Amino acid sequence: MATPSHGIPLRALLLLALSLLSIPIVFQLLHRPTPSPMPPPLLRITCADAASQSPRANPPPLASDVHVPPPAPKPEEASEPTSLRHVVFGIASSRRTLPLRLPLLRLWLRAPARAFLFLDAPAPDARDLPPGLALRVSADASRFPYTHRRGLPSAVRVARIAGELVSALNQQEEEDVRWLVLADDDTAFVLPNLLHTLRRYDHGEPWYLGARSESAAQNALHGFAMAYGGAGIAVSWPLARRLAPALDSCVLRYPHLYGSDGRIYACLAELGVELTHEPGFHQIDLHGDISGLLRSHPLSPLVSLHHLDHVHPLYPGTDRAGSAQRLFRAADADPARVLQQTVCYDRARSLTASVSWGYAVQVLSGNVPLPDLLAAQRTFAPWRRSGGRGRGRNATDVLYMFDTRRYPGDECRRGALFFLESVAVAPAGEEGGTATVTTYGRLAPRKCPPGLVPLKSLRLVKVTSEPLQLAPGKALRRHCCDIAPSSSDASMDINIRRCKDDELIAMHS
């Protein structure tokens, strides 16, 4: 049995223990931090509510609601887009060729673009010049050596145009200049497409833009890395200012080069700048009928054409001047779309139509795969054949810098060919838009017997399209087209439209 305690009573001991245990709990309660009140919920305030509230009545914004400014834009974004007043042209000409080239210059040159045309001697009677064109006589370049066996010493004078032009502009005149474009007097530019190309680049950086020759032999002779001057050379203005003081020393170091463009390339290479290739510039180092090339123009916008006096008229039944005028009527109506190739198929009638907008339409019987139509038909001859004989069936293909395919010698196997006759703008839809309607007339075959003429009833093709809009940074995609049902075999209506997201350009079975 338990022995009873003779000290403090048990009840008192229990009360004392409970008191001791409650001390830490009370201490924690007394020193516990006071909780902050919950933030009020965010309210969705309309513009009318915000306007009716006093700014002082609004609570300060939470950190997550504070507007963070976007990063600083690039120089091209911070200023207005490049326009014609930001471009200055340096054009190489001569006293002899100026009267011949003025009609072409009037076709494409427009104010506020500025152009300086450099002659080898004063022009006796230079009237009716295009707006923005000023004549200059090149400085004497006879002290510079020229040792190429087949070229012309005038290449030295032409190469120095860039330096003379930069030096001729005073500070006020060059204030808005962003680009220097060098070209020959027989070069024609589609100015909106040139501007679109230039806007893709930061004019504050050292850019050297242009294209190689279409001729593999020309590139092998003069270089694959340079921009050919007839197609046009675009140099950003900061780079032009660096090029100008260095040109004369470069001209002295390279007396053996053939042309002015080779000297400009050599000097830019010494400045550490390489060519950025732009396929819309066209040197046209070809002879004869270049319709095969123009009917299969690359997807890039047409920027320039050169050597139009060295090839057949672009449109049958016209002279060279009339052909250029007809092409620029189309280019003025829809510059981004001119020469753009669109292919569509008519499964019901088993037809393939290839549209080179503003130039020509080719209609072929049967299903012609798209890749076959993207290669240029060899209607033309090479500018200069390379030395030695080619071997193999396709040896002529190496003469060109683009894909080609054989052009049938038998007219009965070429399909039906139509060339531009008219351009008109008409209302389109209920939203107040416009559509461009172009018509193309049949080029009758001359050597095909009447009974074998392909699609002999077809006489006229009408093409309807909306103006093509280009935007810097946006990818280019070929458009689609539909051949409208028709009760007549004499005409064909084609509607060009944007392709659907997953649409294939093919004759579907």
The mean-pLDDT minimum among 33-42, 206-215, 221-230 falls in 33-42
Q: What is the 3-state secondary structure (H, E, C) of 133-193?
A: EEEEECCCCCCCCCCCCCCCCHHHHHHCHHHHHHHHCCCCCCCCCCEEEEEECCCEECHHH
- The order of strands in the sheet holding 233-236 is 133-137, 114-119, 87-92, 179-184, 233-236, 208-210, 276-277
For CATH 2.70.130.10, the residue range(s) in the chain are 338-385+396-497
Q: Which two tokens stand for residue 416?
A: 């039906």
Q: Which two tokens stand for residue 126?
A: 């230079």
- Interval 400-415: pLDDT, tens: 999 999 999 999 999 9
- Is pLDDT above 90 for 501? yes
* pLDDT value for 115: 96
* 288-302 average pLDDT score: 96
DSSP 368: -
* 254-264 average pLDDT score: 97
- Interval 428-482: pLDDT, tens: 766 668 899 999 999 998 889 988 999 999 999 999 999 999 988 899 999 999 9
- Is pLDDT above 70 for 383? yes
* pLDDT value for 486: 84
For CATH 3.90.550.50, the residue range(s) in the chain are 78-283
Task: Give the architecture-level CATH label for domain 78-283.
Answer: Alpha-Beta Complex (3.90)
* 245-259 average pLDDT score: 97
Q: How confident is the model at residue 231 (pLDDT cuts 50, 70, 90)?
A: very high
Answer for the pair 184, 154: CB distance below 8 angstroms, yes or no: no
- Is pLDDT above 90 for 343? yes
- Is pLDDT above 60 for 109? yes
- Interval 197-225: pLDDT, tens: 999 999 999 999 999 999 999 999 999 99
pTM over 0.75: yes
Residue count (the chain): 509
Q: Which two tokens stand for residue 217?
A: 């032999």
Strands (E), 93-132: 114-119
3-state secondary structure of 249: helix
* 272-279 average pLDDT score: 97
Amino acid type, 124? P
From 19, 381, 59, 90, select the one nearest 247 (Cα to Cα): 90
Q: How far is the C-alpha of 494 from the C-alpha of 484, rounded, in Å?
A: 6
* pLDDT value for 124: 81
Query: In the CATH hierarchy, which top-level class contains the domain 338-385+396-497?
Result: mainly beta
Answer for the pair 334, 424: CB distance below 8 angstroms, yes or no: no
* pLDDT value for 367: 95
* pLDDT value for 509: 63
Mean per-residue pLDDT of the chain: 85
Please state, in angstroms and as integers, the Cα–Cα distance from residue 362 to each residue in 377, 420, 442, 455, 480, following that order. Answer: 12, 11, 10, 11, 15
- Interval 168-194: pLDDT, tens: 998 888 889 999 999 999 999 999 999
- Interval 61-80: pLDDT, tens: 433 333 334 444 444 445 79
Please state, in angstroms and as integers, the Cα–Cα distance from residue 503 to each residue in 147, 219, 287, 465, following that order. Answer: 57, 38, 38, 18
- Is pLDDT above 90 for 304? yes
* 378-395 average pLDDT score: 60
Supply φ then ψ for residue 247, to 5 degrees. Answer: -60, -45
* pLDDT value for 473: 86
The mean-pLDDT minimum among 12-26, 34-48, 185-199, 234-248 falls in 34-48
From 358, 398, 372, 347, select the one nearest 496 (Cα to Cα): 358
- Is pLDDT above 50 for 30? no
Strands (E), 322-405: 341-346, 351-356, 360-365, 376-377, 380-382, 404-405
Phi-psi region of 232 (alpha: psi -120 to 50; beta: other; left: phi over 0): left
Q: How far is the C-alpha of 344 from the C-alpha of 1, rounded, in Å?
A: 114
Q: How far is the C-alpha of 272 from the C-alpha of 255, rounded, in Å?
A: 20
**b (16+ CB within 10 A) / e for 324-357:** bbbbbbbbbbbbbbbbbbbbbbbeeeebbbbbbb
- Interval 434-443: pLDDT, tens: 899 999 999 9
- Is pLDDT above 90 for 127? no
